[in-house]
Each structure stands twice: as structure tokens, then as C-alpha cells.
Amino acid sequence: MLNRLRLEPSRILLNLAVIFIIALWTFPTAGLLISSLRDKNDIAASGWWTALSSADRKQVGRMKGSADQVEKDGKFVISGNLFEGGDGTSGKVSAFGTKVQTPSANAAGSTVTLDAGQTLTVNVDGSYILTSPTKFADERGGRIFFVSSQPPRFTLDNYQSVLFSEGIGRSFINSLTVTIPATIIPILIAAFAAYALAWMKLPFRGLLIAIIVGLLVVPLQMSLIPLLKLYNAAGYFMGVPSKTYLGIWLAHTGFGLPFAIYLLRSYIAGLPKDLIESAQIDGANDFKIFRRIVLPLCFPALASFAIFQFLWVWNDLLVAIVFLGSGPDQLVLTGKLNALLGSRGGNWEILTASAFVTIIVPLTVFFSLQRYFVRGLLAGSVKGG
Amino acid sequence: MAEQIIYAFFTVIIGVGGCFGYFYGSNWLLDRIFPANASNDSSAVRNLKMQSMIRPWLFLGPALILLSVYLLFPVVQTFWLSFHDRAGDKFVGLANYVWAFNDDQFRLSIFNNILWLAVVPALCTLMGLVIAVLTDRLWWGNLAKSLIFMPLAISFVGASVIWKFVYDYRGEGQDQIGIINAIVTYFGGSPQVWIALPFWNNFFLMAILVWIQTGFATVILAAALRGIPEDTLEAATIDGAGPFKIFFRIMVPQIYGTILVVWTTITVLVLKIFDIVLTMTNSQWDTSVLANLMFDWMFRGGGDFGRGAAIAIVIMVAVLPIMIWNIRQANKEQSGH
């Protein structure tokens, strides 16, 4: 403990270096999260890093017209507050002016003399007093341009609008519909296959394993044209649409299988030999051994793969846009987000909130099950060495 | 919405239930057809033999069928398609490949792919190694690694939105809301449309993948570093080796195999890179890579399956050496058992 607390210059430097790298790595995500909670005008007006301090905003307000004037001490006076009747914001006026080019010509609280002996005072709280020696004639009041400093404010409005009116909520459910079976089905199929390849007597075992390892790196893109043709033919032949949930489950299962079998086989092959053999001597058949002994024991490996497959399917865009339709009942979150990037490219309040909705699920899974995830990564890639 | 949830719930039940049903059903059927507790001993023995011959294929069956349909068949079919015309009817020999290597867009994509391959795996591995070494002796090192690792859970599309926001551009004189342009203007530079600057924009797209994959390299390499025997490092320190010497002369050679694995894993990923380019630039401003070019030929503007397939085969050929290396590695491991 003492050793840790010793403040050597090299340790301070080391800590600072790591803090710097982490800041670099988390800044982009922090920007997204903070922006998604900001008002849409604020997002467009200033950088997200200013969100925590009060922001200067250029605004315009209109004074009351001639109908509201009162006569006082031989002068005609119009008074009111610039924040009244506006967009409901409040804040502190720091400067004001009467021309659009110079909204910060005069400090708040000062009095300026305008044409024809009129004087104008604008206070910090937004109240103004306009006096004139002659009677006001204009029914419409003049405009005041001012700079106000706004306290930081955060809102969930963006989330409300993307979830319920932009269709993100619907896509969220579509994503779940794709992801849950596409995670469970390959686990089952791969676990059985991995057990067969690890412990059962069968011809061509070495060859089968070599093929599966080879398929690990086959680029997904290769499969798309032939499979699309196959799906169209099958759909036509059976008189059903070619883009269905069943179709994408099987596609994700097929693409995930090499890694699943590879990962699970090496784990199952590592189980103690005595365990399996003694069960065989007791007369249990392989189905029973698998169900009662192997499946419970390889839970950590199953969990690792499940997390992988879940993240991979949830985050996938390519397979989804090829094998599923683009209607609201089939468009998944990544596809929806990609569509929004095209149609709402400048609407950052929608993009940031939508993006955060799509990444919240994988992030939750990741942080709660990180242990298994890392274990799977290590088992899946560190070999040879 | 409620209807959708109910529909989703039932499709999930049916899909997963069907799968369970197959394994239970087929094994139950096998036990019925060849009962192990048959009346006389000889038929019981014969039945058990039959069971142990058939059962592996019941276990392997679904996996083999799916692998054949979704991976093996497409590889063969793509190969076949690449020698045929746009609809896949007429044999055209090497015409698609000849076209590809004379096509400017294809050459540009190859060039960009090579650029990605040269930069991303190297940078990820290097950053991963540096971060792994730096955080190794830190009491909050695991937290630090988690944060570096986090982008790995984010989809490429999500990451693209995040980074589009980072690169966002506003006209000169306006307040910049993208952090890069804000920094540039703060130091007196003029704002740029980063993703539309030909050639250099490739690097801005690569930054996204580096941001995502460095965490992967960090975690794997950190685990390997833990595996270096403490004595070795202590002996080196006693002999008076400085931190840099220890790093280059002891740590790097010890975990060389792992570095290679990380490097190749990221290389395979880079060869298939697609989503980032699609969502960031949609191949505009000279950022096209092979996977995106193939996608465009397959699904846009009427499509040309022959040319798309030829491009897919080029990607496959690039992956081939890594595939062979993987298989040999796996065989070595097996014979070692």
C-alpha cells in the first residue's frame, strides 16, 4: 500500500499518460451522450463541451407597441421584459444593441440614447425601459438584439421523440426479435457439434475440424450474392417472401457457427477424460452425457460465445440490410440509424439520441458480463504463442 | 407496438423451440428405433453399435448443413459466378477480372484497402501494446482497460455517428460543434470538411477502427504480458536494464506469438471493412474499399453479379494465406494433444 502511495515523478507521469489516453478514448462517446441530453437549439449553437457551463446565446426580442405606453413625468414610457412572450427561455442578459450586427454593443444595465431623444435601458434580468419625449406612434414595438447567458439545461425530449415518433422504438423491438434467436440457436447447434467433434468416434474428424477453422476467416461478403439468389429462389418456390426473420436467424447462425464450434470444441475437449469415460461405463449414452455433464460444465464457454454472438448480431448492418426488408416491421436499429444518417444528417438531436439508444444495450451487456467476454476473446484468439 | 411485441415473442419461441425439438426428438427417435435394452443380448449390442454410429451425425447434422449452405456453397458459387456475365448465365472467362484490374475505381479500392492494411493493424497493435504496458502496474489499470475496451461493444454504425459528430463541420466564422474543428479554429486554423478531403480522409475513417480495435489488442496483450515470468523481469532489472530495454529486449520477444495473432486477427477484420465506409462517406471522396465496391456492384444500379463476385474472390484470395496459417496452427495444436 505504501509502495503505491509513493509519489515518484515517473509514477505521476505514468498516471498522467494513461489519463490522457483514456480521455482521448472516452471523449467521442461522452460527446454523444451529453449532446443527446441537450436542447436541439443548443446542440446546433455550441459545442457539447460547453454544455456544463452557461452558454452565451444571441437572441432577439421585440418591445411592446404604442398601445402599452404610459405617460410619466411628461415622458412616454414603454416597459416590459425581453424574456416574456419569447420561446419561454430565461437567463441573464449580458449585453444588448439595437442593430442585428451589434447585439453586444452595450453592457447590460446601461442606458443608451437613441434617435429623437429616446433612451433605452436593458437590465440583466431582461427588463427594459424605453422613454421618449414624444408620444410613440408605432403599433409594433422595436426590436432589441441581445446576448443572454443561459444556464446549462438538460432534457429527455430527444429520447422521447426518437423512441416514439422516429421509429427507433419499433426498430428496437425488431433488433431484439433478430438477436435473441440468432444468439440461442447457434449456441445449441454448435455445442452439440463441438461435443461430437471432441469426444465421439467419427470418420474424417480431423478434416472436419480443419474445414471449420478455415471457414473462420471466410469474408461474409462472399456469401451474400449466392445466398440472396438461393433465398429468392426458395421464396419463389414456396410462395413466401424471401426476406423473413427465419431467414436472417439461419444466416446469422451459419455465419456464427465456425467461431462457436471452434471456441466450444477447444473448451469441451479440455474437460477431464475420466469424467466422460466413467459416465459411459455407467451406461449413459452420449445425449445424456452431453445434457447432464458437459452442458453444465461448459457454461463459461457458452456464456462467452453468447456475448460475442449477441454483440455481433445486434451491431451487424450488412446481413440485416441484405436479408431483411426495409419496412418498419423489419428494419433493425443499425439499419434505421444508417437511414437516419442519410435523411436526418444535420439533425444532431435525433442522431445522437438514436445512436445512444442503439449502443445502450451492447454497453450494458458488455459492462455486466465483461469477465466472460474477455475470457472468450482470450480463448478465441490466443493460440500458438 | 403491443402487437409487434407479441408477434416477436412468439416467433422467438417458435424458432428456439424448433431447435430444441430437433435435438430431443431425433435422439428420442434413435433410442426408440435401436433400443439399447432389447430382448436378447446380440440385438442389444447391435443396436448400441448402430446408435454410436448414427448419433454423431445427429449431433453434427444441423451444423454441417448450415455451414455448407451458408459458407461452403457460397464460396464455390461465388467462384463460379465470377467467370460469368452480369446475370450469371453466360461464361465469360476472365473478363470480369480483366475489367476489374483496368477499372479506376477498383484500383482505387485496392489502394485504399492496402492503406488500411498497412496502418490499422500496426497502429492498433502498437497502441494496444503501449496501453497494456502502461496500465499493467497501475492500481486502477483494469478500469482504464475497460474504458479503452468499451468501443468494441459499439456497432460500426453507432461509432460512425459518434465520429461524424467529432468531425462535424460548420462554415468559417460560425461556432464549431465538432471537437476537431473547434480545436483547429481555437489555434487559429480554418475549419475543414475532414471526411471530404481526398486521400487524407482515409486516415480519418481508419481512426474510427483504431478507436474500436485498440481495446481488443490491449486486453489480449495485457493477458500475455501477465504470463511473462516475474523472475525474468526481475533478473533484467537487477542486471541494470532500463525500462525501454526491458520492453524491447524481453517483453516484446516473449509475447511475440501473441502480437502476431492480434495482428492477423485485425488484418482479417480490416480486409472485410465495410460498415464504416458505408455510413461515413458511402464511398464518396475516394474512400471506396473492396467490400463496398462489391456491395455497390451487387445491389446498386441493376447489379452485376459477375463483377461483384470477382471482387469478392479478390478479397477471398487476400484472406487465403491467413486461413492456411490458421489451419496449420490448429493441426499442430491437435497433434500436440
CB contacts < 8 A, A to B, total 340
- Read off the pLDDT of residues B240-271 as tens digits, 9 standing for 90 and up: 877 788 888 888 888 887 888 888 888 888 88
How does the average pLDDT of chain A come out, rounded?
79
- H/E element holding A299? helix A299-315
Question: A257 at the B interface (CB within 8 A)?
Answer: yes
CA distances in angstroms from B213 to A327, A371, B146, B269, B278, listed in the order given: 32, 18, 13, 10, 18
Q: What is the pLDDT of residue A378?
A: 72
Average pLDDT over residues A164-171: 80
Q: Is the pLDDT of residue A261 over 80?
A: yes
pTM of the model: 0.79
Kindly determine whether residue B144 and residue A22, on different chains, have CB atoms separated by under 8 Å: yes
- Is the confidence at residue A52, as pLDDT, over 80? no
* HEC secondary structure over B41-85: HHHHHHHHHHHHHHHHHHHHHHHHHHHHHHHHHHHHHHHHHCCEC
Which residue(s) pair with A146 in the sheet? A59, A96
SS3 label, residue A370: helix
Q: Min CA distance, B203 vs chain A (Å)?
A: 17
Sheet containing strand A143-150, edge to edge, reads A55-62, A143-150, A92-97, A106-107
Give B71's contacts in chain A (Cβ within 8 Å): 215, 218, 223, 254-255, 258
Domain at A160-381, CATH from 3.40.50.720, 2.40.50.140, 1.10.3720.10, 3.30.460.80: 1.10.3720.10
pLDDT tens figures, A148-158: 777 777 778 77
Tell me what pLDDT residue A131 has.
83
Chain A stretch 340-369, residues whose beta carbon is closer than 8 A to a beta carbon of chain B: 341, 348, 351-352, 354-355, 358-359, 362-363, 365-367
Cα separation, B183 vs B180, in Å, equals 5
H helices present in B227-274, as ranges: 230-238, 243-245, 252-254, 256-271
Closest CA of chain A from B105, distance in Å: 18
Residue of A nearest to B308 (CA): A225
CB-based contact A363 B150, cutoff 8 Å: yes
pLDDT tens for A266-297 read 888 878 888 888 887 887 778 888 888 888 88
Tens digit of each residue's pLDDT (9 = 90 or more) over A343-376: 776 777 788 888 888 888 888 888 888 777 777 7
Q: Where are the domains of chain A?
A: 2-51, 55-150, 160-381
CB contact, 8 Å: A167 with chain B? no
Q: Does A6 touch chain B (CB under 8 A)?
A: no
Q: Taking CB atoms and an 8 Å cutoff, what residues of chain B touch A177?
A: 8, 11-12
Contact A250 B279 (CB under 8 A): no
Predicted ipTM of the assembly: 0.81
Residue with cell 496452427: B329
Q: Is B309 within 8 Å of A225 when comparing Cβ atoms?
A: yes
Q: How far is A120 from chain B (nearest CA, A)?
A: 30
DSSP A151: P
Alpha carbon A213 to its chain centroid, in Å, reads 34
Low-confidence ranges of chain B (pLDDT < 50): 337
Please give the share of chain B, as a percent, with pLDDT higher than 70: 96
Closest in B15, B216, B294 to A377, CB measured: B216
Q: Is the pLDDT of residue A59 over 50?
A: yes
Name the pLDDT band for A55 (thresholds 50, 70, 90). Answer: low
Residues B336, B329: contact at Cβ < 8 Å? no
Mean pLDDT of A307-312: 87
Q: Among residues of chain A, what percentage have pLDDT more than 90?
A: 0
Which range has the worst mean pLDDT, A159-163, A171-175, B108-112?
A159-163
Chain B interface includes A46 (CB < 8 A): yes
Q: What is the chain A residue with the closest CA to B304?
A: A225
Q: Is A263 helix (H, G, I), strand (E, B) or coil?
A: helix
How do residues B205-223 score in pLDDT, each as one tens digit? 889 999 988 988 888 888 8
Question: What number does CATH give the domain B95-336?
Answer: 1.10.3720.10
pLDDT band (50, 70, 90) for residue A124 = confident
